[in-house]
Amino acid sequence: MTDWPFTDLPDVAVFTTRAVVEEGAWIAYVSHDDKDGAWQFHDAGPGSADMAEARVVWLRSLVKRDPAVRDILDLPAGGCASRAAPDSRWVRDRC
């Protein structure tokens, strides 16, 4: 990626789910942790918060997989965003 307009580097490790990485599930919920700045990208599935389903990947791989994620990478620490469907707009909130 040649143009990377975000504060976090493209090779920062982020948390996601097995379904996003291995099954191509769409990202429904994103949080940016207030304490350590960690990012989490969850699918809409019922087991999305299960630690057995957790995976760690590069941020750039999620942006490449789902370009709509670019719209919320300015989310401040302590913020979260969700969407109802892959083509829905992100709704931001404080977590």
Domain spans, the chain: 13-85
pLDDT at 2 over 70: no
Q: What is the pLDDT of residue 16?
A: 95
pTM: 0.90
Interior/surface letters 32-70, b for 16+ CB within 10 angstroms, e for the rest: beeeeeebbbbbbbeebeeeebeeeeebbebbebbeebe
Confidence tier at 47 by pLDDT (50, 70, 90): low
> Can you give the pLDDT at residue 3?
79
pLDDT (mean) for 58-81 = 95
The pLDDT score that the predictor gives to residue 45 is 76
Q: Is the distance from CB of 87 to CB of 56 less than 8 angstroms?
A: no
Burial status of residue 76 (CB atoms within 10 A of its CB: 0-12, 13-18, 19 or more): exposed
- pLDDT number for residue 46: 66
